[in-house]
Amino acid sequence: MVSCKKMKKLPKIINQEEFELLLKNAGKHCRQISPTRLKQYKLAMLLGFESGMRISEIVGFKPSGAEIWRVPPLEKEQVSDSSIKIISGKGGKDRIVSRPKRMNESSLKLLPLSIKRRSLQSFIYHLGRSVLHRDISFHTLRHGFGSHLAGLGVPLHIIQQQMGHSRLDTTGIYLHVNPKEAISKVQELF
């Protein structure tokens, strides 16, 4: 009898071009958002796609009814000129990630973000539907980060560290995200 392991589904991703399209059109699809709220959404998107941060690492996670944060929201003090210190609730491991080049001083003044997880998730979902015409979540931005690094040939152990994965096989999924590119590269060899 052959044992079949359940196949892992490939993650939903977006590429750099799609991310730029989302960022550019963020204010056009929902006009009732205040300018400050829109800046906060855009900063969260930037941190998700260009630093690979989890939503809870950006806006924090406080279980309903709890008095203390399980994961505190990102604070200005965690951000240096080139990096961000992540205080992670996932596995209790802190890590250092690169600071997006577009995260300027005015962005720092927005921290900590005063947006709720559900609000951010809803914003990303509706933005994906209106701009890319498909369902995405905030985690799709993070998957895009991992896939983008893998596509640039960044070593897997560096991607693993940047994403905060404890297991290399979790990070390995990003090597399989672009099957068309993989097929093309194999065909070049033969």
Instruction: Quote the DSSP letter at residue 36.
Output: H
Label residue 33 by pLDDT band (50, 70, 90): confident
d(CA 31, CA 48): 23
Is 64 inside any structural domain? no
- What is the per-residue pLDDT for 157? 87
**What pLDDT digit, counting tens, does each position of 133-184 carry?**
999 999 999 999 998 998 888 888 898 889 988 887 777 777 765 556 666 7
Summary mean pLDDT of the chain = 86
For the chain, how many structural domains are there in total?
1
CATH of the domain at 37: 1.10.443.10
Is 128 inside any structural domain? yes
Is 5 inside any structural domain? no
The answer to whether residues 90 and 164 touch, using CB atoms and an 8 Å cutoff, is: yes
Is 39 inside any structural domain? yes
State the virtual CA torsion across 176, 156, 142, 51 in degrees, nearest 10.
-150
- What is the per-residue pLDDT for 2? 47
For residue 66, is pLDDT > 90? no
Question: In terms of pLDDT, which residue wins out, 116 or 179?
Answer: 116
- What is the per-residue pLDDT for 68? 81
Is 157 inside any structural domain? yes
Helix (H) or strand (E) holding 156: helix 156-163
The answer to whether residues 120 and 70 touch, using CB atoms and an 8 Å cutoff, is: no
Is 28 inside any structural domain? yes
For residue 94, is pLDDT > 50? yes
b/e 87-116 (16+ beta carbons within 10 angstroms → b): beeeeeeebebebbeebeeebeebbebebe
Is 106 inside any structural domain? yes
- What is the per-residue pLDDT for 101? 95
- What is the per-residue pLDDT for 8? 61
d(CA 60, CA 62): 7
Is 68 inside any structural domain? no
| Rounded percentage of the chain residues whose pLDDT exceeds 90 | 55
- Domain range enclosing 163: 16-54+100-177
Helix, strand, or coil here: 83?
Answer: strand
